[in-house]
Chains A and B, each alone.
Chain A
Amino acid sequence: MKKILVEICTGTTCHVMGSEAIMEIRDMLASRFKDIVEIKATSCIGLCRERNAEQAPFVKVNGRVVPEANLLRVTQMINEIERGD
């Protein structure tokens, strides 16, 4: 299967709003994902400036934006992408 790319924003706004906790996501994923999910930390991806900062932290999964991201939301998005939704 093609890799799923998870980009976690670690810019200041996203960091303050809690992105660091999402960095632990690897441990939360079902084992079938372990080899196909790639996790990357990025610097500010600009969304906090475009939209309002209160929707941070932002995570992108294969380019799809997850606002107010947390472990649950990001995992759901990974599932959705795997199912091809």
Chain B
Amino acid sequence: MLSDNNASRIVKKLLVETARLSLEENLEEEIDRLVINMIPKNSAANRCCVHKDRAVIKYRLMAILGRSIEDEQDELKPLSEYAKETLNREKITEPVLTVIDEACSACPSGRHFVTNVCRGCVARPCMVNCPKDAIEIHNGRAEIDEDRCVNCGICLKVCPYNAIVEIPVPCESACPVGAISKDQSGKEKIDYSKCIFCGRCMTSCPFGAIMERSQIIDVAKKLAEGRRVAALTAPSAAGQFPCDFKQLKGAILKAGFGEVLEVAEGADITAKKEAEEFEEKIREGQKFMTSSCCPVYKEAAKKHIPELWEFISDTPTPMEFAGRRAKADSPDCITVFIGPCIAKRQEALEGSSIDHVLTCEELGAILVAKDIFVRETNHAETLGSASIEARKFAVSGGVTNAVKTHLSGSTEIKPELIDGLDKKNIKKLSDMCKANTDANFVEVMNCKGGCVGGPGNLSSPARAAKRIEKSFE
């Protein structure tokens, strides 16, 4: 998603600054000062005061250092100590998201509210239809008694003037599985036994209260040390910068990565195996098979649609194949997946071939920190050998097209596309397991438009798709 707001700009500034400090190997010494530099004494406060703004910046930096804010034990512990721990850590831990309670504004929960459009009409449909007698008329205008209201929304539907509105809690209404809700203090909390790591809460919160636990420092440190780091670029990453892929590849090499491998090469293997698996399973009488490369979707099946699990392809994901290949070529290299996805962090934790995951935004921060300009960078010599179909995995429908090219023709494919995993589509998938369905191959993508619509992207899906098209034509 493309967000043009101050909260996301502040995060990006902090990513650039911390990347710069760690590439200069100055992180521990300078990070506490960064808070003051960001919010100097006389700056106009975003929140109530400079001190609150600084506190929020401190917690944002903790998330960028890869920490969970929820784990804070000692409020006096300086960022420099957290930085030291991050610089020494070898292992990444769960969960992949964290909520900054200091930034969460405890938005009033899903209330219905009468606006001054109300004309206090004689018919009073709101009052008559409210099942809880929660509406009374005062001074010629309807008023809702919050203690009685159960938020059923009937008043909103029956008012002929559209005078009643529902005020949503943005993160809660964005969450397709009800995994985020308030604790006793009114602040939001994620229930990780339900969370599918789609990142919608993060992109929808206008206060930027939900953040990823970044691995940018881990990667920057290894680059600064001159370790052998391989960048594995997701198909969608190819469209995220204002240049063609060969130039982006050149820029990543210039940033200090030892090599750039396209995850699309892994996607070729996934598509081939998935095609074989599809023909075999349908021949054996399975009703349908679904794609398996979107980790959010798999998490949703595991936690919320268990009846779907048996229909998901067993084939490993493009990321997994690409990681295995990189480790086989050079066993001591550090593999870094670069893509748009939050859930890939979780997938990497559960597998063994990917050491770190960066979003395209974080890669961008590293390029800015190193003063690398993609359009002024030399092209990498080779493009790589992935097929054009695999390179289009990132756009909705891409997986189906790639699988199609590998079919032997023994089984007719009747594809269906689930483009975006919302409440409605989760229900639809569950129904497909129970009832009859015409489709026998279902491609499921959590993000609308496919991975080009992923939360860690820098470009709009349409522009990204166009760049991918142009880079590989």
Contact = CB atoms under 8 A, between A and B. Distances in A.
A15 B4 contact: no
Query: Secondary structure at chain B's binding surface: helix, strand, loop or mixed?
Result: helix
Interface stretch (A5-13, A30-38, A58-66, A76-84): A5-13
Given A10-B242, A70-B4, A18 B375 contact: no
Interface residues of B, number: 29
A71 B16 CA distance: 22
Q: Is the interface of A mostly helix, strand, loop or mixed?
A: helix
B274 interface: no
A17 B9 contact: yes
B368 interface: yes
Interface in A47-67: 49, 53-54
Interface centre among B8, B9, B460 (most CB of A within 10 A): B9
B368 A13 contact: yes
A44 interface: yes
A12 B241 contact: yes
Given A15-B242, A15-B364, A21-B3, A43 B375 contact: yes
Interface residues of A, number: 20
Contact of B368 (A10, A20, A53, A70): A53
A16 B17 CA distance: 13
B12 A20 contact: no
B198 interface: no
B342 interface: no
A4 B3 CA distance: 26
B177 interface: no
Interface of B: 2-6, 8-9, 12-13, 16-17, 241-242, 251, 361, 364-365, 367-368, 371-376, 458-460, 463
Given A17-B12, A24-B460, 6 more contacts: A13-B368, A15-B364, A44-B375, A54-B13, A54-B17, A71-B4
Interface of A: 10-13, 15-18, 20-22, 24, 43-44, 49, 53-54, 68, 70-71
